[in-house]
Structure 1
Amino acid sequence: MTLPSGLGLAEGMALSRLTFEALWLLQVSVGGTAGQLEVEAYVLGMLNPDEHSHDVIAQAMNEHFLDEGQAYPVSYWSATATTAT
């Protein structure tokens, strides 16, 4: 199965089937410092992450997809910033 590219955090989360706790641990493993509730709020759109936080969460999801044999479907900050304008 090929995943679509250019996904936001919420779309990537839905496709990943990760729990918020698992995503939080993954983002910590790639250098993230956000707490578990912050990660959940960023993904759900309740808080707006800064560029670094967004990219770390996207990287954590993308590494999960890579481990599952998929590409990197979740967009990084620069990609979402240019498509949002």
Structure 2
Amino acid sequence: METQALPSPEHAEVRIIARTPEAARAVAEALRYCFAGMEQRSYPGSDGATRLHLTVDTAAPAGPARSWLATSRTLAGSGTHSDEI
């Protein structure tokens, strides 16, 4: 198992794996529309796929994410659902 340091509380790490670089960039662009302050790194994936790693600043949401994040905060006492790992 790979050990990685967790991002700071106001950041999230996002991994995109796509068949083509264009598909990975389209997803990254959608995230850029919602979140400010992104760092992007790309790597070749297996079988010619593209891996795109993003660091998203959740403390500075932009556009539609601002209202969505305000209403989607986890309630105290709620945990994972039975179908989640």
- Give the TM-score normalised by the residue count of structure 1: 0.30
Give the strand-richer structure, 1 or 2: 2
Greater length-normalized contact order (CA 8 Å, ≥ 6 residues apart): 1
Give the helix-richer structure, 1 or 2: 1
